[in-house]
Structure 1
């Protein structure tokens, strides 16, 4: 027997409500018999005990959540809840984890795209001036390419700056060669000097202030500010615009990504009760409480977020393995397809087990619910993207 089982609380009363105690916790108000005034080592013991308890619940929750469609929901309906993590906490934690990892993966992808465009600006081919038929056209092509190189120069890397200088000289030489072919005596340097410098564009005019008569002044000012942010971010994000620096473009990308992922968890939390409402409408004759549909929605989204987390982690692992072993990297990446396919299959089986209807009716309702939910998801993602752009 443990010390807890040997302890007798006969005659003891709760310090909070004076109710006679029958165990470590008062059955009337729930207060613990243990005092918070204890040595520091007692706090560490309590922390590790709580951590191990939560860890045990994770081991009992995550495997059946991923492998057994509807199991956790049916267990919750049956009243067996202590060994598992509560549905909302489970969904919320997995939501944050999945979007955190996806955010990291997105940062890696955007930086790689930027590196690819930066490398492309340094590549000089013999076809750069082939389409130019006059000296002004040669000047325009050369100015555009030099502007792109100048924007890349802002990274401050000595090796890249040396490559930029080499590419710039190659471009000028090719421009001179093309001018010679066209019979134009002017040198490329003279042509470029006559052309407007890359940063000599007219400054951007601020957008016209938004004025909606039925909105208060502060709302119109806020909308104007949002539109101005959107215009600047979209212009800096445009890779065909060579007049912005790499730092400006990267800042715009960071604003977009940070704004998008900043509102995405909240957006998904709104979809959980909306999905439960869809279940309520399609299973109205089952006479189930809305809270039951909400539990189904919470466990469904928790599974989706867990699957998304696994898919992203598999992608990251595949990307990390490919430089060392191409075969291993591609083999790992092939795991993403069954993970994707398991999501609709899991949700269909879960819907069948929880609501206990025939396969034909379940498939029809699953299709309609999925169709409505898909367009709601697209709408919410577009809103999240718009908020990210105006960030």
Structure 2
């Protein structure tokens, strides 16, 4: 070490507790010797240094997280932690990034579907302005031709076949209902009214009822006045009633023939679902650690050790989800222009899907150091229990999201 690198702290005392300083940080209270009252350009220098330091830790953390099962956890147990991102911070950031990108991907795919297949958007009152069966049939043929043309223009984009098939069924159903209405109106004569008008009117009424009353019973059941649990506190009943009212409004918006109301309801529900997913995963983290504690009870490990295993496992899964969604977005953009590139990206997605369970199995084997038969059995049992926990948690998150 050169002479200019040696710093003397003789006679320097901590400004907070007056202890004699032996370095840049007080050994008694931990306060830094450096003052926060400094020029602005020094603040920018400190911020840049902090960012580069964190970036260096990320570079040391992410590659082994993705390629070396159990390595980060064993490093953490052995006390070598300084060069790596802490487990909770790693899991937290990757969780937020994964769900954020997934939300963007869902929105972009929905927008692509709307812009790519405009004729697949079916209005409930498409045929109401026509007065004869021939006009209705002509309009139906025209709309079906537009659907086929849009499908041919989009090509092999995922989801187009399903959307156009649904739109075609809706159009045919609405056309049949309108023709039945017209025939019922034409049959309203003194002689034929009782015989011919009744069946046609009944068919038209039944077809209309399918579109207009899908959510009627559900809306009535979820009326805020009916949501009251006697053993719950009043504030929780109020909250439940409010959520039920939101759910009713969202379902009503979903069934609305007004495209703007429908889209607003969908956006509210998507925002609600993606808003509660991170909190849901945070709740599952200690539950997963508890499962590990129960299945490895005789290993005499602390619960905190199992929690660190859970944090690193979920950090890896969120990283996989992040990469998988990114590949799916790139594939959706590239595939219509270069089929070979789309096929390559598809194989990468498949490799990620295979690597995830294999990684978790190897991680469990290396950390708990049991034989392969017992490791596989416990891996399958933990996975089975966690699958049901995850299903219930995601179901609850979905209900909370749609009631947003």
TM-score after normalising by structure 2: 0.75
The equivalent position to 1:225 in structure 2, one of 239, 242, 251, is: 242
- Counterpart in 1 of 2:94? 94
CA contact (8 A) 1:209 1:221 kept: no
- Counterpart in 2 of 1:311? 324
Structure 2 counterpart SS, 1:57: helix
Q: How does 1:66-85 map to 2 (within 5 A)?
A: 66-85=66-85
- Counterpart in 2 of 1:28? 28
- Counterpart in 2 of 1:292? 305
Separation in 2 of the partners of 1:39 and 1:388?
Answer: 47
Separation in 1 of the partners of 2:280 and 2:245?
Answer: 24
Separation in 2 of the partners of 1:235 and 1:138?
Answer: 31
Structure 1 counterpart SS, 2:365: helix
**For the structure 1 residues 45 and 389, does the alpha-carbon distance in structure 2 shift closer, same or farther, using more than 3 Å as the test?**
same
- Counterpart in 2 of 1:361? 374
Listed one character per residue, the Cα deviations across residues 92-111 of structure 1 (whole Å, up to 9, x for unaligned) are: 01000101001101112333
- Counterpart in 2 of 1:256? 269
Q: How does 1:7-26 map to 2 (within 5 A)?
A: 7-26=7-26
- 1:347 pairs with 2:355: no
Listed one character per residue, the Cα deviations across residues 190-226 of structure 1 (whole Å, up to 9, x for unaligned) are: x9xxx99x9xx79978635323333344433432332
- 1:214 pairs with 2:231: yes
Give the superposition deviation at 1:121: 4.6
CA contact (8 A) 2:114 2:121 kept: no
CA contact (8 A) 2:105 2:329 kept: yes
Listed one character per residue, the Cα deviations across residues 307-362 of structure 1 (whole Å, up to 9, x for unaligned) are: 10000011111112123322212221221111011111000000000000001000
Structure 1 counterpart SS, 2:12: coil
- Counterpart in 2 of 1:120? 120
Listed one character per residue, the Cα deviations across residues 241-288 of structure 1 (whole Å, up to 9, x for unaligned) are: 5x5211111111111111101110000001111100000000000000
Tell me the C-alpha RMSD between the 2 structures. Answer: 3.7
Structure 1 residues not aligned, in runs of 5+: 130-134, 149-169
**For the structure 1 residues 335 and 5, does the alpha-carbon distance in structure 2 shift closer, same or farther, using more than 3 Å as the test?**
same
Separation in 2 of the partners of 1:39 and 1:52?
Answer: 21
**For the structure 1 residues 29 and 332, does the alpha-carbon distance in structure 2 shift closer, same or farther, using more than 3 Å as the test?**
same
- 1:64 pairs with 2:64: yes
- 1:390 pairs with 2:403: yes
**For the structure 1 residues 276 and 218, does the alpha-carbon distance in structure 2 shift closer, same or farther, using more than 3 Å as the test?**
closer
Separation in 2 of the partners of 1:107 and 1:101?
Answer: 10
Comparing 291-300 with 209-218, greater Cα deviation is found at 209-218
Separation in 2 of the partners of 1:58 and 1:105?
Answer: 25
- Counterpart in 1 of 2:279? 266
TM-score after normalising by structure 1: 0.77
Give the superposition deviation at 1:27: 1.3
Matched positions, count: 340
Give the superposition deviation at 1:22: 1.4
CA contact (8 A) 1:17 1:29 kept: yes
- Counterpart in 2 of 1:53? 53
Listed one character per residue, the Cα deviations across residues 138-179 of structure 1 (whole Å, up to 9, x for unaligned) are: 59x88x98xx9xxxxxxxxxxxxxxxxxxxxx99xx99xx89
Structure 2 residues not aligned, in runs of 5+: 144-170, 188-199
**For the structure 1 residues 2 and 318, does the alpha-carbon distance in structure 2 shift closer, same or farther, using more than 3 Å as the test?**
farther
- 1:328 pairs with 2:341: yes
